[in-house]
Amino acid sequence: MPDLGTDFRGTSHLVAKRQYTIVLPGRKQKTVSEEWHGIVAQAILKAMTIIKARMLGMCMGVSRAQELAVAAANTGRTKGKNVFSYGPLIHNPQAIAKLEAKGVGILDVKAFEAGNLDEAVMNSIVVIRAHGAPPAVFERLATLGAEVVDATCPRVLRSQKKASELAGAGYRLIIAGDSEHAEVAGILGHVPDAIVVQNAAEAREAAKALATQEGLKLVVIAQTTIQKAEYSAIIEEISQCADECVVLDTLCPAATERQAALVELARNVSAIIVVGGKNSANTQRLFLTAQETGKPCWHIETAAELPAEVFSFDRIGLTAGASTPDFMVDEVENFLRKGVSDGNAL
């Protein structure tokens, strides 16, 4: 009898002593003995087709930051230095746990800003995450003797550079984004008098306050991950008050590409699995898109969360948010294909 491990029991139900009900493709149910459970289960797995979205999982910026952090951990081990990321590197608890196991701790940004962690940071290695950080943070880390590994995403770096250039040329900077987000804090560090607007209503208020200024030149920049519709609505409001308004296209296509690929995928499958951190905004949005397709769908972090019902569908679509590491997608795919979890490494 093929050995599927005890994990697979989650896809069937123990209904009596050594008796299992297995949910078959097409949602038919079959009660089998324990002996036959493994054999029938294997047949179900063979009948199931798994299709991955043509674009899924970790984006270039986060993937690069993760690689730099792993390299920093190796350097830290060699030099006998502590290694930290400046805030959580990835919005994904499993990836964070793997990094911590490799020796990358998380620096509490608020405690550092309050001056409470100077001693811990001295002579350590600090990795700046993909969102970037204000120049003052780089300077303070250097003053404390920390070795800085800059993993700011190249797209975010471009935004920071453009914002500085245009502010230097006399434009008032408007940042469309979340005022609490690290990427926005990083840009504000370059242009401290920039105005942050989080939505169209705030843009309207800002436009009213700015309307009295003669010869006003504005430049509008977006946090890379905000929604395109939200950015358009903000531009519509804010551009009314200026003589000149330059709009920069700084939106990152990583999220929209994954959403478009998911919509295509949905046409060819009977159910969808979205893999990624429950705390990841882009994975949550991807799951919303999955729900809008009308197909049965689930947002899970690990293979252990796969519901038994998944195995009643014959064509399963698999996608993952832009902060989901490959090992998590592989783990879910392997479980769906084999009924067992491999637990791959970073």
What is d(CA 56, CA 274) in angstroms, rounded to the nearest whole number? 10
Q: What are phi and psi of 112, to 5 degrees?
A: -65, -45
Q: Cβ distance 134 to 190 under 8 Å?
A: yes
Q: Smallest distance from the beta carbon of 243 to ligand SF4, in angstroms?
A: 31
Q: Cβ distance 92 to 325 under 8 Å?
A: yes
Query: Which residue, 121 or 130, is less far from ligand SF4 as judged by CB?
Result: 130
Query: Which residue, 59 or 126, is less far from ligand SF4 as judged by CB?
Result: 59
Catalytic annotation, pick one of 67, 113, 165, 183: 183
Q: Cβ distance 317 to 273 under 8 Å?
A: yes
Q: Cβ distance 175 to 89 under 8 Å?
A: no
Count of CA atoms in the C-beta half-sphere (13 A) of 259: 17
Verify whether residue 183 is a known catalytic residue. yes
DSSP 268: T
Q: Smallest distance from the beta carbon of 153 to ligand SF4, in angstroms?
A: 3
Q: Extract the tokens encoding 78.
A: 């060699």
* Interface with ligand SF4 (CB under 6 A): 59-62, 130, 153, 155-156, 224-225, 252, 254, 322
Query: Which residue, 98 or 258, is less far from ligand SF4 as judged by CB?
Result: 258
Q: Smallest distance from the beta carbon of 250 to ligand SF4, in angstroms?
A: 9
Query: Which residue, 24 or 60, is less far from ligand SF4 as judged by CB?
Result: 60
Query: Which residue, 60 or 248, is less far from ligand SF4 as judged by CB?
Result: 60
What is d(CA 126, CA 114) in angstroms, rounded to the nearest whole number? 17
Q: Smallest distance from the beta carbon of 204 to ligand SF4, in angstroms?
A: 27
The total number of residues written for the chain in this structure: 346
Cα distances (angstroms) measured from residue 79 to each of 11, 76, 122, 147, 230: 48, 5, 14, 11, 47
Residue that has been written with the tokens 């939200």 in this structure: 230
Comparing every residue's Cβ against ligand SF4, the nearest one is 61
Q: Smallest distance from the beta carbon of 96 to ligand SF4, in angstroms?
A: 16
Catalytic residues: 183
